[in-house]
Amino acid sequence: MSDVKFDKIALIGIGLIGSSLARVIREKKLAKHIAIATRSEKTLARARELNLGDSYATDNATAVKDADLVIVSVPVGASGAVAHDIAPALKEGAIVTDAGSTKSSVIAQMAPELPAYVHFIPGHPIAGTEYSGPDSGFSTLFVNRWCILTPLPDTEKTALKKLESFWTACGSKIDTMTPEHHDLVLAIVSHLPHIIAYNIVGTASDLEKVTNSEVIAYSASGFRDFTRLAASDPTMWRDVCLHNRDAILEMLGRFSEDLSALQRAIRWGDGEALFDLFTRTRAIRRDIIEAGQEVDAPDFGRRKAGN
């Protein structure tokens, strides 16, 4: 049992992140009471069937009443509306955090809505799969994964320490940085790869119409791995693009320049440039494996659907 203990934790949103949190909180006994809120009656009913919480509501304010820790796990474009909903019901001294993959936008949306007597500490657990919904979660999702916190200048150290301890108890490694730096880093390591995957799969979808299903038939040659990224929640990724626009556009610009250089190397038969690029990028893969952020397996060690 962990030393971290909250009387009540409220989870706003019960998709992959929220349902994984519910499971690890229960497993590690991190709270006496888990309150769950989601707008969908159907999703809420499924969360109840899975016994993910102790109380359930479609009203966010109801869920956060008397909560010591509130974790908002919704598409980033909905962050401000959620903050507006819960603000009047938050108790003094409560910690409010989020799991959004953009931070500057979330802060701009949520901070003006939240009362001064709560501790707002934006966060981002860098963990996930392409699956969504309450059935998709699992208690080990955060194990050995980074959780980045972007505390505001006036954040109280005791509250920050308690939130860090919570994520550590969930299995995460903790880092802190400014919201702007977070958004730039995530634009290249997460947002750009997903955007490229969506674009490649979209191109292949058009090609599929004229190739007698050969794109799907031969997908194991590399296309398959792009489809995993491109299967992610479209609402979430629409909001990411809209709410981390500047950083994503900067990274897309850099990518376009590098892609042009690659085109030139192929066009002019520059084997040395091609070999150097492929050698350098292969080394990055090894570094990720050695850092414990991936496994050296053909299926990347990811769970199969239904497991």
Token pair 């350098």 is found at 280
User: How far apart are alpha carbons 228 and 258 in whole angstroms?
Assistant: 24
**Is the Cβ–Cβ distance between 45 and 104 less than 8 Å?**
no
**Could you tell me the maximum CA-CA distance found in the chain, to the nearest angstrom?**
67
Same domain? 27 vs 148: yes
Which of 134, 149, 177 is where one domain is finished?
177
Give the pLDDT score at 35: 98
Same domain? 71 vs 164: yes
Q: What are phi and psi of 217, to 5 degrees?
A: -60, -40
Same domain? 138 vs 164: yes
Name the token pair of 63: 């869920």
For residue 219, the domain's CATH number is: 1.10.3660.10
Pick the closest to residue 90 from 54, 114, 55 (CA basis): 114
Pick the closest to residue 185 from 255, 136, 111, 247 (CA basis): 247
Same domain? 50 vs 117: yes
Which structural domain, as residue segments, surrounds residue 250? 181-268
Give the pLDDT score at 1: 53
Same domain? 206 vs 245: yes
In a domain, 170, yes or no: yes
Order of strands across the sheet that contains 146-149:
123-125, 146-149, 173-176
Give the pLDDT score at 88: 97
Torsion of CA 305, 285, 281, 102, to 10 degrees: 70
**Is the Cβ–Cβ distance between 95 and 163 less than 8 Å?**
yes
Which of 177, 195, 222 is where one domain is finished?
177
Buried b / exposed e over 158-192, threshold 16 CB at 10 Å, is ebbebbbbbbebbbbbbeeeebeebbbbbbeebbb
Q: The whole model's pTM is what?
A: 0.82
Same domain? 139 vs 26: yes
Same domain? 13 vs 144: yes
Same domain? 168 vs 186: no
Q: Is the dihedral of CA 161, 164, 170, 174 positive or negative?
A: negative
- Please list the residues that pair with 92 across neighbouring strands: none
Give the pLDDT score at 87: 98
Count: domains in the chain: 2
Q: Tell me the residue type at 129.
A: T
Give the pLDDT score at 300: 47
Give the pLDDT score at 184: 93
In a domain, 278, yes or no: no
Same domain? 171 vs 194: no
Q: What is the pLDDT of residues 274-290, one digit of tens each?
A: 999 988 888 877 777 77
In a domain, 289, yes or no: no
Same domain? 147 vs 255: no
Q: pLDDT tens per residue, the chain (307 residues)?
A: 567 789 999 999 999 999 999 999 999 999 999 999 999 999 999 999 999 999 999 999 999 999 999 999 999 999 999 999 999 999 999 999 999 999 999 999 999 999 999 999 999 999 877 778 999 999 999 999 999 999 999 999 999 999 999 999 999 999 999 999 999 999 988 888 889 888 888 887 777 666 656 777 777 667 777 887 888 888 888 998 999 999 999 999 999 999 999 999 999 999 999 999 988 888 877 777 776 666 555 454 444 444 4
User: How far apart are alpha carbons 69 and 251 in whole angstroms?
Assistant: 35
Same domain? 131 vs 189: no
In a domain, 65, yes or no: yes
